[in-house]
Structure 1
Amino acid sequence: MGVLRDHPELALFLCLAVGYLLGKLRVGPITLGGICGTLIVSLLLGAWAKVAVAEDVKTVFFAIFIFALGYMAGPQFFAHLNRRSLRYFSLCLIELVCVLGIAFGLAKSFRLDVGTASGILAGAATESAVVGTATESIAKLSGLTPAQVSQYQGHVATAYTVCYLFGLITVVIYTSQLMPMLMRIDLADASRALWERMRGGGGGLEGDEQEALPALVGRTFFVTHADGRTVESLERELDGRVTVEAVRRGSKLLTAPAPGFALILSDLVLLVGRRADVIEASRVIGPETAGLPDLDTHLATSQVAVTEKATDGRTLGALRQDHPEFARDGVYVTEVVRGDLRLPASADTVVHRGDVLTLVGARSGLSRITAKLGALVRNDTTDFVYLGLGIAAGSLLGQVVVRLGDVPLSLGTGGGCLVSGLLFGWFRSRRQTFGAFPPQAATTLKDMGLAVFIACTGLTAGPQAWPLLKQYGALLPVAGIAMVLVPASVSLVVGRTLLHIEKPLLIGAIAGQQCSTPAITSITQVARSSVPMLGYTITYTLSNFLLPLTGPLLVGVLGA
């Protein structure tokens, strides 16, 4: 125990290791997750060993976490500030009003201190970032002694842990199991039907298939039916969904044949396209044959960030119509990445600025398409100049205090870095020539920053945990459950009766308004489809920005 006190870094990383191991334990569809596991372990270790970690460590790592979170969400946050996303924005407002109202009501009814009320808000809303913004705001309240500040900050962590556990279980079961029953749907069938409508009929998803368009394939066919037909007419009959990449005639091999090139009996033709489309070619060309090594061709892959204004808001299907180069040059979109989320690459997937499209095709065709859609992503190294300036700007913004009557409101370092991250991430999405912050690097910094912050918070709060639990007993679990059920139920009714959101999308959106990754994971498993993810991404992005700001707001109101 003395070793841990003398070397707090040992205790810190021990909490991370054991906490993430605990977070991997699964009970049915429920897993605690690494962050909750880390907080539980750090609270226990803090109560036992009484390890002291410097306050600046928490501040630095939380700033890194919250900036990375904002940076990744920035492009889509601003893209969703439009009339088309207004329905989903309404769900986020319902979430904010409900959780703030319930937390404030509980604080007044049960005379909760500001730390406990903030912890209930953070845990029940399953939003870890609120822990940071609330604890930072408590430190800035006037009239509190250092001992009171430390005590209230400890109460934030303890209340968060209990409410998070019950809130997490509630949101997972309610969204994935009970909501489909309440709406009288089979979620898998409803998702399949919605997918078919989005694709214009046909193309339903099987249970063992992913909802994204299948991977690109190349196959060879023996010309029988297509004797005398040109390459252009062949591709036209297959609706431009496949490309003739090569033709072998006897011992001669012709790559990239001209549109007017005529096929003859016994030619071998190499087609490239998505699996389902290529399979249909046998009825037009002739039987499929085993692939030949000398008939193979090389396809290049590139990632393109959408930056062009004309492309923003268009569907992938519309982009193929706007740019004939897709069909002419045999270029295909195989993946759409939005922040840290992967979306179905269907014809109806809407593309926004900042999205990264994975294109596969001939190198010359890729170059032409890239020039029209945006910029080639070069995310091989992090631009630390841009990163450092962004966090510094956020820290300065967080020092600004605005008074509403007697209530002092301040974003704090956390809120300031969140706003800064949103702006810097959005600006980077429009100008991809600087400010690189690779998604893998951003995700690593985001996860590690939050994990270290939570571990520091738990180690400090450990000694106050047990007295708080004895004082409030069943209130914390009940609050965790209620603060999930109330906003989710209101959103369910409003979403169906007033906003008329499709049922699978509405279920995903409700999981997103609570920023619950375990919930959407369970939902997609039940749906056997990522169709609900299309609703989740919008509310998740908006709530990721709005919920952390509720911490300083609640602390400011109660502290006054």
Structure 2
Amino acid sequence: MTIDFTQIFQQDSVLVIFTIIAIGYLIGNIRIARFEIGVTGGVLLCALMFGHYGYTIDPIVQAIGFTLFIYSVGWQAGPQILNVMRQDGPKYLVLTIFMAGGSFLLVLGLAWMTGLSNSFSAGLMAGSLTSTPTLVGAQNAVSSGLVAPAAGQTQNSLIESISVAYAITYIFGTVGLLLIVKLLPNLLRVDLAAAAETFANERGFKQENVEDTIDRPILRAYLIDDPDLDGLTIAQALTARSPKEISVRSLYRLKRGAELIDPEPSTIIEVGDKVAVFATPEEHAKARDLYNLGAEVLDRDLIDAVVDVAEVVVTNPYAVGKSLEQLGIYERHGCYLTRITRSQIQLPLATGTVVQRGDVMILTGERRALDRAISELGAEDRKAVETDLLTFAAGIVFGLLLGQITVRIGEIDVGIGTAGGLLVAGICVGFLRANRPTFGRMPAAARFIMMELGLLLFMVGVGLNAGGGIANAIGSVGPVLFLSGVIVTCLPLLCGYVFGRLALGMNPALLLGALTGAMTSTPALGIVQQAAKSTVPALGYAGTYALANVLLTLAGTLIMLL
């Protein structure tokens, strides 16, 4: 029996799609030194190869991928759109506009000098900045009819040109950006580690690796047999020996005879009482030494507690804009903050970290204490397998309809297009979700698969469309596109660094993080954090990333309209 794999693949486009994604994942995870092109680049390269040999897929697959991805981009950006105006927000806003606007004007200038068409220019900007939203915006401007093909052109030829330019410039856009952010601090003789430490000291941050320093709290019970504690209130005992070592909220329960007592600052201590303490192992040791607690006891009434982990979305105006020190989650409620993320980027667990609406906190504590903390912070995003597909689908429908609306100005019909409509709808739903966590439930795993699968389906279509014409394009405009891509990758980043330092006065570690966010490059953020030996750059990344996705999507559409 002879198996003709070529024929099998030609007859089954689903097989082609998932073969490309699987091989692309393998290619994207190949690491040379500290560099890797990532899953998106791996899928693109694999799709180009398949496209070169004539494989195609139904256009509806790419359309579905585009819809899922761009809507998810807006959904993720929604909670942070207003946050960029708080604390360092104006700097992030100005820097993002400077980077997006500067890159846009640079691309137009290079296109004018080299004679590149709008379609090649859009692909040039998308690939050089490794900005998939720009690519989505440009291709959708064509496929939605927002841009009419010139004489002798078709929608397919324009989309192919965008894809080809993106493919030619993407590789250097990825690797080149990583090289620049790695080498730039050395070339400018900037000590990123020292800069991060300086910023951390100014804001009250700690420099330790968060994952390495978190001790998980445990519940233990002790006998109180120190006569010096007899007759004192809990507040007096804490104040007399060390008010900072252990909080009254860490005292889970007190037992006197058969009576169970919820500890309060005014609760009087008696010799013979038993106390349950919810704290880290280190704090348990300190508590025993400081308060001369007696032997550890096994009393099920005391240690039979519900210790839980909660994922909390910050929505309460009381918490928004306050630092972790001001919130005092541990001091006030006896709960442990083990992680805080913003736009899926982990932030430093430091007293100076300022909380913003839509941030997600992971808290560990006794269930009643958790409920008290949650009511003060926002709402718990309960672990559920269900996704509110009604809201998800309705948001997409709203975005698609919004994209169809046009306004006639003179002889020209002006609209935001499908990409713009989906982006606006995603932003609205994401913003409402951040303020009303019971609305539009979507667990983190569901968000990831929607956005990642949408992106990869779209990239499969891009690569297959470009594969057939990339060989000819490399021979004709390839060198021009590649050299232009090098300029667009390097120059905005260098100018952005100078602008950020001189005009905005930003800390170098924070600035480089913000620049990688403005160029939507998570791998580059990893390089910066390694050099800084700190998570401080993640604050800058989170400050620019959301707005950059929106602006770069609009830039792709605008280039095609010119």
Per-residue deviation at 1:194? 2.7
1:153 pairs, out of 155, 159, 164, with 159
Contact 1:222 1:285 survives alignment (8 Å): no
Matched, 1:168 2:174: yes
Whole-angstrom CA distance in 1 between matches of 2:370 and 2:475: 64
Q: Structure 1 residue 90 and structure 2 residue 94: aligned?
A: yes
Whether 1:179 and 2:185 are equivalent positions in the alignment is yes
Aligned match for 2:207, one of 182, 205, 208: 205
**Structure 1: 5+ residue stretches without partners:** none
CA displacement, residues 31-77 of structure 1 (integer Å, 9 cap, x when unaligned)? 111111111111111111x1232222222221111111211220112
Give 1:30-429 correspondences, 5 Å limit.
30-48=35-53, 50-82=54-86, 84-139=88-143, 140=145, 141-144=147-150, 148-179=154-185, 181-182=187-188, 184-185=190-191, 187-199=192-204, 204-206=206-208, 210=211, 215-217=216-218, 227-228=228-229, 230-236=233-239, 237-239=242-244, 241-242=246-247, 243-246=250-253, 256-260=262-266, 270-273=276-279, 280-281=286-287, 284-286=290-292, 296=303, 297-320=305-328, 327-378=331-382, 380=384, 381-401=386-406, 409-429=414-434
CA pair 34-214 structure 1, distance change in 2 beyond 3 A: same
Residue 417 of structure 1, CA deviation: 0.5
The amino acid that maps onto 1:383 is D
Residues 275 and 137 from structure 1, CA distance in 2 versus in 1: closer, same or farther, beyond 3 angstroms? farther
Which amino acid is 1:489 matched to?
Answer: L
Offset, 1:524? 1.7
Asked if 1 retains the 8 angstrom alpha-carbon contact of 2:181 and 2:512, the reply is yes
Query: 2 CA distance for matches of 1:195 and 1:226?
Result: 44
CA distance in 1, matches of 2:267, 2:365: 20
Structure 2 unaligned regions, length at least 5: 1-5
User: Which amino acid in structure 2 is aligned with residue 76 of structure 1?
Assistant: Q
Whether the 8 Å CA contact 2:29–2:36 is kept in 1: the answer is yes
> How far does residue 13 in structure 1 lie from its aligned partner after superposition?
1.2
Give, in angstroms, the shift of residue 425 of structure 1.
0.7
TM-score by length of 2: 0.88
DSSP-derived class of the 2:81 partner: helix
Distance verdict in 2 for CA 1:42–1:67, change over 3 Å = same
Q: Determine helix, strand or coil for the equivalent of 1:284.
A: helix
What amino acid sits opposite 1:176 in the alignment?
K
Contact 1:227–1:264 (8 Å) recurs in 2: no
Alpha-carbon distance change, 472 to 220 in structure 1, aligned in 2, over 3 angstroms: farther
State how far apart, in whole Å, the 2-side matches of 1:95 and 1:374 are. 34
Query: What is the identity, as a one-letter code, of the residue corresponding to 1:309?
Result: P
1:536 Cα deviation (Å)?
0.8
Aligned-pair distance for 1:332?
Answer: 3.3
Question: Secondary structure at the residue paired with 1:334?
Answer: strand
Task: Give the letter for the 1:184 counterpart.
Answer: V
Cα distance change, pair 31–315 in 1 and its aligned pair in 2 (3 A): same
2:538 aligned to which of 533, 538, 557:
533
Q: CA-to-partner distance for each residue in 1:66-94, whole Å, 9 max, x for gaps?
A: 11121122011222245741111111111
- Secondary structure of 2:469's aligned partner: helix
Q: How far apart in 2 are the matches of 1:452 and 1:333?
A: 37
CA separation in 2, counterparts of 1:196 and 1:213? 20
1:471 matched to which residue of 2?
476
1:114 Cα offset (Å): 2.2
* Paired residues, number: 546
**What RMSD in Å do the two structures reach over aligned CA positions?**
3.1
Most deviating of 122-131 and 156-165: 156-165
> Match of 1:171, as an amino acid?
L
Task: Report the secondary structure of 1:31's partner residue.
Answer: coil
Distance 1:194 1:266, change over 3 A: farther
Larger deviation, residues 145-154 vs 330-339: 145-154
TM-score, normalised with respect to structure 1: 0.88
Corresponding residue of 2:3:
none
